[in-house]
Amino acid sequence: MIPFNLPILISSVFVLGFQIIFFFDSVFGRAARKPQRFGHFVLFALLASVYLTLDLEWFASGVALLLIYSLADTYQVELKNKLMFTVLYGVLMSIVNSLSIFIFYTLDADEFRDFEPTNFTASAKTLLLSCILMFVVIQLIRMVAKRRTYPLKPGYYLLFLFVPVFSIYQVNLLAATSEKNLHFFIWVIGLLLLNVLVIYMFDTMMDKFQIQQENFQLQRQMDYQDANYEKTVHSFKSIKRIIHDTNQHFLYIEECMKRGDTAAALEHIRVTLNKVEDAYHRVNTGHLVIDALVTNALNIGEANGIRIDTQLQLHSQELNIDRYDLCVVHGKPETAKHTMRWTKKSIRFFTCPRPLSTKR
């Protein structure tokens, strides 16, 4: 507890605020900062002033966490991350504060023999040393933190919070029941490093889950592309069979023309056209790649209840367009089946009238 001295109070609030922002920059990154933060700073200044000047007794911990969260909320990250690192910072600050009291105790300072928060000199010295030590701890955190923002399940957050909560319990228990000797110092340092290690483990866990999720998504994409490839090959083979059958029809018509039986030829043409329209109502531009891809897109659309109208005009049999681009365009019907409303899409191909080489 610090008496109301305006210069000292402003300096203390500034140092605490700068240190907390420095901590959250280390774990969240500067890029996650919100553009508008003035209101959060005002709230933090008010809470910090109350925390430093008033004897809040049992409410001190709650106010401390609230003022830490007021600055954590200035970052665009998940609420679970804000809460977890708010608690973690509070635990680290408490451990560092206990370490500061131990250091002054070993220096035989009389005001630290029976430390009381209302002692201005002891509180000011402890706060100053705690801030200095906390900057060292934050530098360690900056070396191990990767600033991951991948979301995890709530159970993992509770699991990682167990160590900080248990640590603060151990520190308070040791401060109340044990002597402030070398063993106390080693125990506090161990808890401090353990909580820094929690941040490293948390980042490593997020990294692992992110890689697993990306591998899962890539595997799904590969399976989807493999299925589309099989459908495209099937459509291509079907078109080849149609070309073969068409060639046989032309041979028959040619034979009828040689015999002078035009009526039989016309009748065969009429029957063939009717069967083609009824049995195979797909495109046939003469370009096998375009026919296979467009036919595959029409089949996907029909299977998923999507109506696709085509209007193809090819001025050349050689197209200057990547196969990848065609696959992307004709892969859109697979995505369209997930939409919940009716939409009208129009895709047109424009080709040059002069011969061009197809890209390999």
For residue 290, what are its two tokens? 């375009």
For residue 166, what are its two tokens? 């248990």
The confidence score (pLDDT) of residue 43 equals 92
The confidence score (pLDDT) of residue 355 equals 43
Residues of the chain with pLDDT under 70: 1-5, 107-124, 144-152, 172, 175-180, 276-284, 286, 288-289, 314-360
The confidence score (pLDDT) of residue 338 equals 52
Assign 3-class secondary structure to the chain. CCCCCHHHHHHHHHHHHHHHHHHHHHHHCHHHECCCCHHHHHHHHHHHHHHHHCCCHHHHHHHHHHHHHHHHCCECCCHHHHHHHHHHHHHHHHHHHHHHHHHHHHCCCHHHCCCCCCCHHHHHHHHHHHHHHHHHHHHHHHHHCCCCCCCCCHHHHHHHHHHHHHHHHHHHHHHHHCCCCHHHHHHHHHHHHHHHHHHHHHHHHHHHHHHHHHHHHHHHHHHHHHHHHHHHHHHHHHHHHHHHHHHHHHHHHHHHHHHCCHHHHHHHHHHHHHHHHHHCCCCCCCCHHHHHHHHHHHHHHHHCCCCCCCCCCCCCCCCCCCHHHHHHHHCHHHHHCCCCCCCCCCCCCCCCCCCCCCCC
Q: What residue has token string 């043409």?
A: 269
The confidence score (pLDDT) of residue 263 equals 85
The confidence score (pLDDT) of residue 354 equals 45
Dist CA 87 CA 69 (whole Å): 9
Instruction: Report yes or no on whether pTM surpasses 0.95.
Output: no
The confidence score (pLDDT) of residue 69 equals 92
One-letter amino acid of 167: S
